[in-house]
Amino acid sequence: MTTLFYLLGYLAVAAFVVLSCIKISGYLQASPLHVRWELYPVPHEGKKAAYGGSFMENTEWWKQGRHVEHLCDILGIFKEVLLLEATFKHNNKLWFRTYPFHFGMYMLMGGTIILTITVLCGMLGASEIWTGMNMGGVVAFIHNVINAIVMIGAFGILGGGIALICRRRSDQGLKNYTTAEHYLNIGVFVLFAFFTLVAWAVNPDYAVLAGTFIHNLLTGNFEAIESVSFVISMLCGFFVLLWIPLSNMQHLLFKYFMYHDIRWGDTPTAQSPKNQAIIPELLKKQVTWAAPHIAGDGTPKSWLDIATSKSTTQK
């Protein structure tokens, strides 16, 4: 059973990486050329973003070189991912429920990264920092930080997840569009957070347990973990890793594309050789819409035919 436990850990990590790559690759290959939103401000406009301006306000902008503030784009992504800025501005009541949930996930992910780096440093001879023996100085500090991160992260996911479920049940607007899958997606994280919190509470040093487990994974040492609560929490964690790319929770994989590629993608066609190559092929695609305002009568026509036809709609 111990070997199976570690094999499930390897499988969960591998499945997450492979499925995530498949999802992202599929998006990049299948997504069409997006219709311009024309929504401003856009962060990469730099100073113009402060008042909702854009490069198009410049006289004869199409004749001028364009300067894009990539650093502002990066800061904009970080503010949205780490702070959920848009949710705070436009749906404050939801933000107070969803932010603890997301913050808890960020804490556990960050703690895992910190602990993995710590274990790797130990494997390279820096210190025996994946065990509870002879800890002191920086090593003890890291363990204390990890223990605090796990507690805060688990509480955040647990409390935020329960609040989100209650919000979906009480808010009529959300309730109308909530399916069983939405409850399942949040419930999976709530269950994982609950067992993680139990493991943190009943074990003397959660960081030592987690560090030992990561060390065993990296070295192929299938040593038994004595804590049943920790094993259960890890099994839930394995399932969460597998579940993310298979459910609508996969939105965390596409945050960059949703903003940078769609919401903030405002490169003019005249300045984009890539789009210039795509558009002629897209114009050949067939549509069978039947509506006078798009010059469609139900017979197959290409987008080029529709774009160059006159609408029969009377004004």
* Predicted confidence (pLDDT) at residue 134 exceeds the cutoff of 80: no
Q: Is the pTM above the cut of 0.75?
A: yes
- Residue 188, pLDDT score: 96
Instruction: Tell me the CA end-to-end span of the chain in Å, nearest whole number.
Output: 74
Query: What sign does the dihedral 278-283-284-285 (CA atoms) show?
Result: positive
- Residue 216, pLDDT score: 92
Mean per-residue pLDDT, 207-225: 91
Nearest to 233 by CA among 208, 211, 200: 200
| DSSP track, 45-100 | GGGGGGGT--GGGSTTGGGS-----HHHHHHHHHHHHHH-HHHHHH-HHHHHHHHH
- One-letter amino acid for residue 16 of the chain: F
Token pair of 182 as six digits:
């939405």
Mean per-residue pLDDT, 149-177: 94
- Residue 132, pLDDT score: 47
Q: Name the 3-class secondary structure at 301.
A: strand
Token pair of 266 as six digits:
């405002």
pLDDT: which is higher, 295 or 100: 100
Nearest to 143 by CA among 155, 133, 129, 124: 129
**Helix runs in 220-290, H state only:** 228-243, 255-256, 273-282
The C-alpha atoms of residue 167 and residue 145 are separated, in whole angstroms, by: 32
pLDDT: which is higher, 292 or 104: 104
Token pair of 166 as six digits:
């209650």
Please state whether beta strands 296-297 and 290-291 pair in parallel, antiparallel, or not at all (unpaired): antiparallel
Least confident of 32-41, 88-97, 127-136, 207-216: 127-136
pLDDT: which is higher, 129 or 100: 100
Token pair of 73 as six digits:
């784009």
Instruction: Give Rg (Cα) of the chain.
Output: 25
Residues 246-251: contacts with CB within 8 Å, 24+ apart? 246/19, 247/181, 247/184, 247/185, 248/181, 248/182, 248/185, 249/185, 249/189, 250/20, 250/23
Q: Which residues contact 111 (CB under 8 A, 6 or more apart)?
A: 145, 146, 149, 150, 153
- Residue 217, pLDDT score: 93
Which of the four pLDDT bands, split at 50, 70 and 90, describes residue 62?
Answer: confident
